[in-house]
A and B are shown apart, each in its own frame.
Chain A
Amino acid sequence: MKRVITALLAVCLTIAASVASEAAITAVRVGSDIKRVSYNSAIWKKAKFSDILLYPQTTIKMNDEKANGLNAENSVIRARAAAIYNGRDIAFMVRWPDDTVSVQRGDSLTSYPDGFAIMFAMDYSNPYKLPYIGMGSEGRPVVIHLQKAVRPFYEPNGHGDVYMQMNRNQTELFGKSLLRFDKRVKKLGSSDYERSFVSEGFRSMTEIKDGSNRSYARLSYRNKAWTGTLSCPMSDDYVNLHAGAIPVAFAVWDGAKMGRGGLKNLSGWLSVKLEDSAEGDMLINALDERSPGNPSVGKVAVAINGCAGCHQIESSDTPNFMGPALSNIGGYATEAYIRESLVDPSAVVVPGHNRNAHSAYKWYTEEGGRRVSTMTDYSKLDEKTINDIVAYLQTLKAKEE
């Protein structure tokens, strides 16, 4: 009997692999220069827009009581995304609904900006071992471009201009010279909160400040929606996007809900097909893969195997700190990632809380400089059960409003 099932499974898998899935986004090739493409560039008329779904980040619970309250009932955000490229540069547009405009101000301690980010995998040669969606993982780095709605603010780092950081009333200046001082301070204020980062997991995220990358991001609010655009080279020191299809992930922040690091909506890895290439099916299929298992059988298996001992399975479960919460795992993780985490828990150790934040719940140990997950290795389960569990976990995601 078992052999029959295995054979059947093999057939199913072959069929799944032979039927090419649709890419989440099809990038349209254009002839013109898109280095400084913006939200109002006419070239977007040529682009093909697709719907993408952005799930609330619930893997880790942050420690801001007010923000947690505001974000407790978050649902899926349906956004529109498109991509264009010309062989040298690639540009993305993402348009997502937001009822309120939140701009971070320089005179408030409790204002948070709306914004968006686009993430690329530095190595996607094996689409079954992509970086962890939460900003990469050890040995699987990602590059992130971030644009937030922030009023001009003063950036002292890099300038070292201590005098200009002085309170205007404490300068020896009066009248016109004081106005000149104000002007200079304003000029030093950076007006555009655009950042690029390299990251092997949230904690390790490091800003690229040495000018070794180039990008151009823009943000605009119209008709109760934000439109963000990003243009960057298809290949630089960090990424090489010359391929049939590339994995890209999007995230958006809602300042009205005190959104910032850790409090956001994000997509899973989405396949972006470059239209003039015949390749890329492997990546597109990998990102689209559904486990052949039975979700309702998987739900029972999850209960039997005691997953809830460490993981919050549904958002209504008791909060815990040990394993990453799984309530949206089906939204932003690939089939391959969930499977890998089951059978090889140490392959990606989610770079979650500071271990000291919940010192009684160590979700990993360090052995020879390598993080070893404290999760049981479930490769001991038979393949059918694993398929069922993965199928069930793929159903765990927030609903659309």
Chain B
Amino acid sequence: MSKRQLAMVIDLNKCIGCQTCTVACKTQWTNRNGREYMYWNNVETYPGTGYPKNWMELGGGFDTAGDLQPGIIPNLETDYGVPWDYNYDALLHGGSFEPNVEPTWGPNWDEDEGAGVFPQDNYFFYLPRICNHCTNPGCLSACPRDAIFKREEDGVVLVDLDRCQGYRYCIAGCPYKKIYFNPKISKSEKCILCFPRIEQGLPPACAQQCVGRTRFVGFLDDKDSQVYKLVHEYKVALGLRTDYGTQPNVYYVPPTESPAKFDANGKIIEGSTRLPIGELEKLFGENVHHAIRTLRSEMKKRQETGESELMDLLIAYQHQDMFRLDNNYYRKVAKDKGGYALAPVDTRYIAGKYTKESHTLYFTEDRDDDIKRHRK
């Protein structure tokens, strides 16, 4: 466990599935060679196949005894889908508009399909997913090379690309399949919780761009943070599939409200609800009952008295109130480290015990000097 832990809370009652977070992440990080198929942030329709296809059935994570479970590495063609593009150039010369590969699968292939029979009892909700920056990461435990590390200072889980040799055991070990293999560089890559932004006091791109104001970001030990209040005080934000044993640090306010079902004649069935509680239990565990009770009672309280701190929090009147990133903390960390930024490489291996200086010193030495050396 790290000294501190950054966490995200995503309010599923407010997520409209607009994919702005997905686009924010993609344009920020995954538009480069080999990353085209990666969605460090994706929003999938639940129930649905998700991304990669049926990720919940691909193994990884820990059993109750604490043993890492074997897993399966998804395939680009069938499980993720080969990303396609169009021949814009050809259009200039009168060609026809064609995709470069026949699209057969991709993220959100089954968007908005959900489950049930329309119009009687069909239902779905959106499930935005990023790396959970787990307290007990399956990917980290699976790596035989110590190429994955969890930052002591904020619990962000990173791949040390310098050490990674592309074995892909991490992908088998992650039960959320939120670590991806970049075939162009033969290394694994994943959500970095936008650490370069966070260190400057800016929220991750996905959270900043969220038009529904669904995402809260802060330190779990910061009692003034919304994250703390939602997770520990009101206990309305719950980890996803905590039964995998990785102790995820992205929490979800479960969807509480769904419309009533219709009978065969199209009449409302009073008291019915489309969203089966069993599905929520599967995703968020037993505590989902308590969370839903709290949310409902606070909603009622708000309706009756006009007062509810929880409702005010979840409404998020000011977007900036959703983030408590404590830039001063990162400044202090940097100062304690002698003015250096937090290294995106595992400092245990900056230079191997027997290797001499390596280019990874770039992250720890005086930057100006080093940049000069690089330009030489």
Interface residues, chain A, CB within 8 Å of chain B?
A: 60, 62-66, 68, 104-111, 122, 141, 150, 153-158, 160, 162, 165-167, 169-170, 174-175, 178, 185, 198, 200, 202-210, 212, 237-238, 260-262, 321, 353-354, 356-361
Closest to A202 in B: B144
**Chain A residues closer than 8 Å to B355, beta-carbon distance:** 198, 206-210, 212
Q: Check A68–B70 contact: CB distance below 8 A.
A: yes
CB within 8 Å: A-B pair count: 166
Distance between Cα atoms of A59 and B74 in the complex (Å): 26
Interface residues, chain B, CB within 8 Å of chain A?
A: 31-34, 36, 59-60, 65-76, 80, 85, 88-89, 136, 140-146, 161-163, 165-169, 172-173, 181, 183-186, 349, 351-359, 374
A109 in contact with B59 given A208-B355, A260-B168, A261-B145 (CB within 8 Å): no
Q: Check A104–B186 contact: CB distance below 8 A.
A: yes
What are 25 sample pairs from A and B whose C-beta atoms fall under 8 A apart? A63-B68, A63-B142, A63-B173, A64-B172, A108-B183, A109-B181, A109-B183, A156-B161, A162-B32, A166-B31, A198-B355, A202-B144, A203-B145, A204-B146, A204-B349, A205-B145, A206-B353, A207-B352, A208-B352, A210-B359, A261-B167, A353-B68, A354-B140, A356-B136, A358-B68
Closest to A60 in B: B144
**Chain B residues closer than 8 Å to A108, beta-carbon distance:** 76, 183
Q: Check A110–B73 contact: CB distance below 8 A.
A: yes
Q: Check A64–B163 contact: CB distance below 8 A.
A: no
**Chain A residues closer than 8 Å to B33, beta-carbon distance:** 154, 165-167, 185
A65-B72, A207-B162, A207-B163 are known; give 18 further A-B pairs, CB within 8 A: A62-B144, A63-B142, A65-B70, A105-B183, A106-B183, A108-B76, A109-B74, A110-B73, A122-B354, A154-B34, A202-B145, A205-B145, A207-B352, A210-B358, A238-B354, A260-B167, A353-B68, A356-B136
Q: Check A63–B183 contact: CB distance below 8 A.
A: no
Q: Check B67–A321 contact: CB distance below 8 A.
A: yes
Distance between Cα atoms of A104 and B165 in the complex (Å): 13
**Chain B residues closer than 8 Å to A353, beta-carbon distance:** 68, 141, 144
B45 to chain A, nearest CB (A): 23
Task: Indicate which residue in A65, A154, A262 contacts B71 across the interface (CB closer than 8 Å).
Answer: A65
A140 to chain B, nearest CB (A): 12
Give me the 10 closest cross-chain CB pairs, A-B, nearest first.
Answer: A206-B352, A357-B68, A65-B70, A359-B66, A357-B141, A165-B32, A261-B167, A198-B354, A356-B141, A354-B141
**Chain A residues closer than 8 Å to B59, beta-carbon distance:** 65
A360 in contact with B67 given A64-B73, A157-B162, A203-B145 (CB within 8 Å): yes
A360 in contact with B186 given A110-B75, A141-B353 (CB within 8 Å): no
A166 in contact with B73 given A62-B169, A154-B185, A206-B349 (CB within 8 Å): no
Q: Check A106–B184 contact: CB distance below 8 A.
A: yes
Closest to B30 in A: A167
B372 to chain A, nearest CB (A): 14
Distance between Cα atoms of A161 and B76 in the complex (Å): 26
Task: Indicate which residue in A105, A203, A260, A357 contacts B146 across the interface (CB closer than 8 Å).
Answer: A203
Closest to A111 in B: B183
Closest to B361 in A: A210
Distance between Cα atoms of A341 and B161 in the complex (Å): 34
**Chain B residues closer than 8 Å to A354, beta-carbon distance:** 140-144, 146
A60 to chain B, nearest CB (A): 8
Closest to A68 in B: B70
Task: Indicate which residue in B68, B89, B359 contacts A158 across the interface (CB closer than 8 Å).
Answer: B359
Distance between Cα atoms of A160 and B136 in the complex (Å): 31
**Chain A residues closer than 8 Å to B68, beta-carbon distance:** 63, 353, 356-358
Task: Indicate which residue in B74, B144, B359 contacts A157 across the interface (CB closer than 8 Å).
Answer: B359
Distance between Cα atoms of A122 and B353 in the complex (Å): 13
**Chain B residues closer than 8 Å to A150, beta-carbon distance:** 186
Distance between Cα atoms of A260 and B67 in the complex (Å): 22
Q: Check B89–A154 contact: CB distance below 8 A.
A: no
Distance between Cα atoms of A358 and B142 in the complex (Å): 10
Distance between Cα atoms of A160 and B59 in the complex (Å): 35
**Chain A residues closer than 8 Å to B181, beta-carbon distance:** 109
Distance between Cα atoms of A170 and B32 in the complex (Å): 9
**Chain A residues closer than 8 Å to B65, beta-carbon distance:** 360
Distance between Cα atoms of A353 and B144 in the complex (Å): 7
**Chain B residues closer than 8 Å to A237, beta-carbon distance:** 356
Distance between Cα atoms of A374 and B76 in the complex (Å): 42
A354 to chain B, nearest CB (A): 5
Closest to A61 in B: B70
A65 in contact with B172 given A154-B34, A360-B65 (CB within 8 Å): yes
B273 to chain A, nearest CB (A): 38
Distance between Cα atoms of A141 and B353 in the complex (Å): 9
**Chain B residues closer than 8 Å to A261, beta-carbon distance:** 144-145, 165, 167, 169
Task: Indicate which residue in A105, A158, A260 contacts B166 across the interface (CB closer than 8 Å).
Answer: A260
Distance between Cα atoms of A354 and B137 in the complex (Å): 11
